[in-house]
């Protein structure tokens, strides 16, 4: 599908679904079923993953690095299971994302096989060597908050747990982390893990900024990081 066709489909879908968000019943944190379960058990096709990802690259960039202003997250290196779950949740209206929704639908990228393909492709992209970080003004506090509240699920270095759908958060842009943390804390992200909602319910804004600043400085393993100046050869 050409980019012009994708945009036309997206515009039509966006108009027809503009009032859908927020009206659907909130789904459980991870009930599974449907496209999520189906995609999890399919064998990925790399070539189709590349083709599908071209739709995603308009926002997330060909390298999968997103934008350090927080508008779009880094996807590169994220656990395949996490990507599958989030895509399936967005398509099922379990996660509100009106900007991404039209581009995630079968009309734009295909069915469960395409979810499996693009998730596997994204998970293998090397990560941004220079992600957006916080101001660095309260890192000691952030480190302690992380140790006390986040390690059990996200690991000692933000590596997450793919078998439990806990995302890798190391190397993610500070401003994106901050926005998602705030939405989860304040009940604005409907597919958030309820255990996390409870864990961070009493965080002040200052606590939130400190711990997300600390997280933004967690460094992925060297083998997962792209060289500075790297460009995705699949789109050159």
Same domain, 112 and 145: no
The count of domains in the chain is 2
Q: Give the pLDDT confidence score for residue 67 in this predicted structure.
A: 97
pLDDT in tens, 23-50: 334 446 677 778 999 999 999 999 999 9
**Is residue 49 situated within a structural domain?**
yes
Same domain, 96 and 143: no
Same domain, 184 and 103: no
pLDDT in tens, 191-208: 999 999 999 999 999 999
**Is residue 79 situated within a structural domain?**
yes
**Is residue 23 situated within a structural domain?**
yes
Same domain, 146 and 119: no
Same domain, 116 and 34: yes
Q: Exposed, middle or buried by CB within 10 Å (0-12, 13-18, 19+), for 177?
A: buried
Rounded to whole angstroms, the Cα distance separating 176 from 129 reads 17
Provide the CATH number for the domain around residue 59.
1.10.760.10
Nearest to 183 by CA among 100, 70, 76: 70
**Is residue 128 situated within a structural domain?**
no
Q: Give the pLDDT confidence score for residue 30 in this predicted structure.
A: 72
* Max Cα distance, the chain (Å): 50
Asked if pLDDT for residue 224 goes beyond 70, the answer is yes
**Is residue 29 situated within a structural domain?**
yes
- The predicted model gives 150-156 an average pLDDT of 97
Nearest to 212 by CA among 183, 188, 178, 166: 178
| Mean pLDDT across the chain | 90
Range of the domain at 167: 139-224
């Amino acid at each position: 599908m050409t980019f012009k066709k994708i945009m036309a489909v997206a515009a039509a879908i966006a108009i027809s679904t503009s009032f859908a968000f927020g009206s659907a019943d909130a789904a459980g944190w991870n009930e599974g079923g449907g496209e999520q379960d189906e995609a999890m058990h399919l064998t990925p096709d790399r070539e189709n993953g590349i083709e599908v990802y071209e739709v995603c690259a308009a926002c997330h960039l060909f390298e999968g690095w997103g934008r350090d202003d927080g508008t779009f997250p880094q996807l590169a290196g994220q656990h395949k299971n996490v990507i599958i779950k989030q895509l399936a949740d967005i398509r099922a209206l379990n996660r509100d994302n009106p900007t991404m929704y039209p581009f995630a639908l079968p009309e734009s990228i295909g069915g469960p096989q395409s979810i499996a393909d693009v998730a596997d492709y994204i998970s293998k992209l090397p990560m941004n060597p220079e992600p957006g970080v916080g101001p660095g003004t309260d890192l000691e506090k952030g480190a302690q908050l992380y140790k006390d509240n986040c390690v059990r699920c996200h690991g000692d270095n933000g590596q997450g747990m793919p078998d439990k759908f806990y995302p890798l958060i190391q190397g993610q842009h500070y401003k994106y982390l901050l926005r998602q943390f705030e939405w989860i804390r304040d009940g604005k992200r409907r597919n958030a893990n309820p255990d996390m909602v409870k864990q961070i319910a009493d965080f002040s804004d200052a606590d939130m900024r400190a711990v997300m600043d600390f997280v933004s400085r967690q460094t992925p393993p060297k083998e997962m990081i792209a060289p500075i100046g790297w460009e995705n050869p699949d789109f050159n």
